[in-house]
Chains A and B, each alone.
Chain A
Amino acid sequence: MSSLTVQPAYKRNKTYTWLFYLLPSIAIMLVFFIYPILLTFFYSFTNLALTGEAARELKFVGFDNYTRMFEDSTVTVSIWNTLVFLIGSAVIGQQVLGFLIALLMKHKRRFFRRVIGTVVLAGWVTPEIVCALCLYSFFSDSGTLNSIIGAFGISPIAWLFTVPMLTIILANIWHGTAFSMLVFQAALDDVPSDIEEAAVVDGASRWQILIRITLPYIKQTITTNMMLVTLQTLGVFGLIYAMTGGGPGTKTTTLPIFMYNQAFINYQLGYGTAISLLLLLMGIVLSLFYIRSMRD
């Protein structure tokens, strides 16, 4: 009604006021976000370095960084480690555990839900470095886990040295599961209860209801959540860096850790950038899938 009688202010003066509103945010994103992404492509073809001759004179080296990557056995190791970390902690760990918690919590006593929910959420809310510290001391030689198995008469195990990958996977599960739990709780609440009740009347078992009704109903959420959790896990640095530093040896060196080592420990920024491009491309592909899943 009012829109018919009043000429909206932005139609009255046909200027580009919208540009004025958008400009500050576009400018800051261009300089500090999009430009660095373009630089990633650019630098990965150069010999950019922090020290030595290359630091003074930036040269194009073509695909040298990439051929070097294919010859570097640590690259293969860190890609493998990244995949193990992603699948172990994000795809399986956080997703499955988060779903399991959400499913089991449904229709449970309010007080019980509260307590378990809060404990799981605490790991999520806690900053990354504090998580690393808590889990580091949990798995350390004289830590809580060894005290517990010691009570059963098992001699202590050097968890951080014998199964370092498992410790960082568990740490990331501890830190991230709450996100999936919240997402699945919301999704499960949306599953209409009458469908499930009808299935019960028809004599379906709990397992059948889960596989045939619940899971297909929240399929969309599973895809989207999988994408988001994987993207978040792809960039994890602090948790691994503070717990194991990528070691022992290269056993927990994921791509972010390897990128950091090459760029800032070995001062090979160009090579480090080539590695981060790998990371970026993985992120871009996953993000595109994520957007597709959001649009449907």
Chain B
Amino acid sequence: MNARQRKVLYRILPYAVLTLIGVCFLLPLLWVLVASVDTNAMQTLKWPHRLTGMNYQEVMTSGENQRAFLVGLLMSAGQAFLVVVLALLAAYPLSRYQLKYKKPFMLTILFMTSLPITAVMVPVYQLFLTLHLYDNIFGVILFYVASAMPYGIWMLKNFMDSVPTDLEEAAWVDGASVFAGMRKVVAPLMVPGICTVAIFTFSGSWGNFFVPYILLQTPENFPASLKLYQFFGLHGMVDYGSLAAFSVLYAVPSIILYILSQRFMSKGFGLQGGTKG
């Protein structure tokens, strides 16, 4: 191999390797997309028998499925809202006041962001039985809020640090209280940060399977993730078309939210701590 051939090879090789990786990542995904519009979907990726919207129609018109999506939406939106409000309140003194134990507190928070939630689910289950929160949608929301709280506080505190204090002080001169200054001056300046936290907590719980699987029992309370799991248990993986359509519909909110989050993440993707999927 002479020098020129080597140079050409070096130029082409990365494209070839990346294309191969891309194809490997694409194939499983392509199956779910194609199967969802195929009248006669199979387990393998193949050219659709005939294109149809029937699978989607079937999934969307089912009352049970609509309910599961609404429950999932309620859980995730409820969690995101509560996390943002509570974390904003907590972030304020952590960002503005000089507190004695601030540093150890923030380190504890950072530590908690990375703990695997899976490891505490058995005691949480027992706790929910004693508190009579088992099989209760709002109980699940409370647990979701608690588990996302460290991430929310960590992120919002850091975002708040970058909002200058001069603006609040100007508001105080005009007679605003601390709380009003925070609500009307600081929070509006943190909209990108608030959206980032809301989106990440929302999609975290929207995609979560383990927590509702442990804490819920009645099928009426199941969010979309559990319904999907139940779906492929019940139909014995036969009705691939509807299964794929359900999967696509269930994945859509996560995808939209990810695209939205890109608009708020101006600083690119650095390691900011506690980026729990």
Contact = CB atoms under 8 A, between A and B. Distances in A.
Given A122-B29, A280-B120, A128 B172 contact: no
B21 A36 contact: no
A36 B142 CA distance: 13
B135 to A, nearest CB: 14
Interface in B110-165: 110-112, 114-127, 142-143, 145-147, 149-150, 153, 165
A237 B210 contact: yes
B32 A134 contact: yes
B228 A130 contact: yes
B53 interface: no
B115 A9 contact: no
B207 interface: yes
B209 to A, nearest CB: 4
B62 interface: no
A276 B258 contact: no
A157 B145 CA distance: 44
Given A120-B25, A121-B258, A25 B119 contact: no
B55 to A, nearest CB: 14
Among A3, A17, A221, A235, the most chain B Cβ lie within 10 Å of the Cβ of: A235
B75 to A, nearest CB: 14
B119 A279 contact: yes
A104 interface: yes
B69 interface: no
A276 B21 contact: no
Given A112-B18, A144-B45, A28 B145 contact: yes
B122 A137 contact: no
A54 interface: no
A39 B131 CA distance: 14
A32 B214 contact: no
Contacts of B29: 119, 122-123, 126, 134
A237 to B, nearest CB: 5
Interface in A15-51: 17-18, 21-22, 24-26, 28-29, 31-33, 35-37, 39-40, 43, 48
A276 B120 CA distance: 7
A129 to B, nearest CB: 5
Interface in B6-31: 10, 14-15, 17-19, 21-22, 25-29, 31
B191 interface: no
B251 A130 contact: yes
Contacts of A273: 122-123
A99 interface: no
B: interface residue count bin? 35 or more
A97 B21 contact: yes
B228 A25 contact: no
Interface in A136-186: 137-138, 140-144, 146-147, 174, 176-177, 179, 182-183, 185-186
Interface residues of A, number: 101
A2 interface: yes
Contacts of B27: 138, 144
Contacts of B117: 235
A125 B252 CA distance: 9
Interface string A87-118: 00000000001001100110010001001100
Contacts of B46: 147
Among B44, B173, B254, B268, the most chain A Cβ lie within 10 Å of the Cβ of: B44
Contacts of A8: 169, 172
Interface string B174-186: 0001100100000
Nearest to A288: B111
Nearest to A278: B119
A174 B31 CA distance: 14
Nearest to A34: B112
A284 interface: yes
Interface stretch (A69-77, A192-200, A226-234): A226-234
A191 interface: no
B243 A133 contact: yes
A69 B94 CA distance: 43
B242 interface: no
A116 B122 contact: no
Nearest to A19: B93
A141 to B, nearest CB: 8
Contacts of B147: 32-33
A217 interface: no
Contacts of A97: 21
B112 A256 contact: no
Contact of B45 (A37, A147, A228): A147
Given A32-B124, A147-B44, 6 more contacts: A8-B169, A9-B181, A29-B112, A33-B150, A127-B206, A291-B114
18 contacts: A6-B172, A28-B86, A28-B142, A36-B120, A43-B123, A127-B207, A127-B250, A127-B251, A129-B209, A130-B228, A133-B243, A137-B44, A141-B43, A142-B44, A176-B277, A221-B271, A235-B116, A263-B125
Q: Which 10 A-B pairs have the closest CB atoms?
A: A235-B116, A32-B146, A18-B93, A127-B207, A238-B209, A235-B118, A39-B123, A280-B119, A134-B28, A279-B119
